[in-house]
Amino acid sequence: MVTSIDIRKVSSRGKVVIDLDVWMDNPDDYDFSPRVSLVDNILSLSVVLESDEYEVLASAELDDEALQLAERDRMVEARIKFSVHGMHGTLTHRTPNPQTGPKSKKLAEPRWKVMLPVQ
């Protein structure tokens, strides 16, 4: 289940692009279906809960240009970076000999890009 959604940036490049940070509790949770709604100039992101209700987790105010593009296309592009609490948070035990170079290993950062209809 999604714990929180943070809107990093809203930009307009021929279409409205939203950069999001999504925090999850479990890395095996694949149930994420965001919904976008537009009321006046407030863009709201909500998710479906287990009881089939919507919960608004983030909202942002659009400028005039982005508002016109969102109303024209009725679509926004969401660039989502998923993070999991406990995996991508603050490190508690730092490796004394960190590997830097072409063969170093780091945690995967799953990213997702999707076009969402505006309701």
Mean pLDDT by 10 residues, the chain (119 residues): 89 92 83 89 88 87 94 94 72 62 68 91
In a domain, 100, yes or no: no
> Looking at the whole model, is its pTM more than 0.85?
no
Q: Is residue 103 one of the residues assigned to a domain?
A: no
Task: Quote the number of domains for the chain.
Answer: 1
Residue 16 lies in a domain: yes
What's residue 62's pLDDT?
A: 94
Q: Tell me if 37 is assigned to some domain.
A: yes
Terminal alpha carbon distance of the chain: 22
Q: 3-state DSSP: the chain helix, strand, coil percent, rounded to 5?
A: 10, 50, 40
Share of the chain above pLDDT 90, in %: 49
Residue-number span of the structural domain to which 31 is assigned: 2-89+108-117
Residue 101 belongs to some domain of the structure: no
